Amino acid sequence: MLLCKNTLGGAGVGASTDGVGNPPTDDYFWIQKVQEYYQNDLVVLIDTDNDGVNDFDDLCPQTPVGESVDENGCSEAQKDDDNDGVKNTVDLCLFTLSGETVNSDGCSESQLDSDNDLITNDIDQCPNTAAGVEVDENGCDASLSIKTLEIDNVKIFPNPSMNNFTVNIAVNVLKIHSTTGQLILSVKENTHKKPYDISHLKTGVYFIEIISTTNKRSINKLIKL
């Protein structure tokens, strides 16, 4: 492809005639004269990567050989439509929101569901739910949802706790579950409201299932420091 570096109207062009002193009227004649005057100013537009788009217009100047490109000279392997730093051809999450941090697959926490419970990682409070367990809106075992089932005003204190906690009602059975629903500890009959020792538990979140002496059930969340 050829491109003129200068514009029409250079020195001498306006003075050209048809050879007998009369201004020419043939457009083709003018084209010939322009080519004569600017022959030395013509430059070749280079297409370094041979993708059909010249370097001047090519936004992706190093396209691999044989890859199809768009009007900007970019192939799918060179595009990053959601601007997350991961190219389209390897991006498993093509619509990442602006500003979100992604992994090597181009996925952010709001796009991932590591335990396949249909709750994305960014809002999943129980990230390692076992397969097949029904979960609530927080991604936690629905049978251990953080709500009072049959007993009102049940309190666990202190909460958060480092070494032990106490329940404010008489307890028939108390069970401690992990966020995945695993039973960690089961204690029977504590009608005198004695503290429960949790010093041996790892730091994290636990669910405390309480069966009262009247056989009513409650679930509470406990944070172990």
Q: What is the pLDDT of residues 5-16, one digit of tens each?
A: 444 444 444 444
Model confidence pLDDT, tens digit, residues 154-199: 889 999 999 999 998 888 889 999 888 888 998 887 777 789 999 9
Confidence grade of residue 100 (pLDDT, cut at 50, 70, 90): very high
For residues 91 and 84, what is the distance between their CA atoms, to the nearest angstrom?
A: 9
Looking at residue 148, its pLDDT comes to 46
* Domain ranges in the chain with CATH number 2.60.40.1930: 156-224
Q: What CATH number is given for 156-224 in this structure?
A: 2.60.40.1930
Who's near 55: CB < 8 A, 6+ residues apart?
45, 46, 47, 48, 61
Percentage of the residues of the chain whose pLDDT score is greater than 90: 43
Tell me, yes or no, if the pTM score tops 0.85: no
C-alpha to C-alpha distance for 26 and 137, rounded to whole angstroms:
79
DSSP reduced 3-state for 33? helix
pLDDT for residue 24 is more than 70 = no
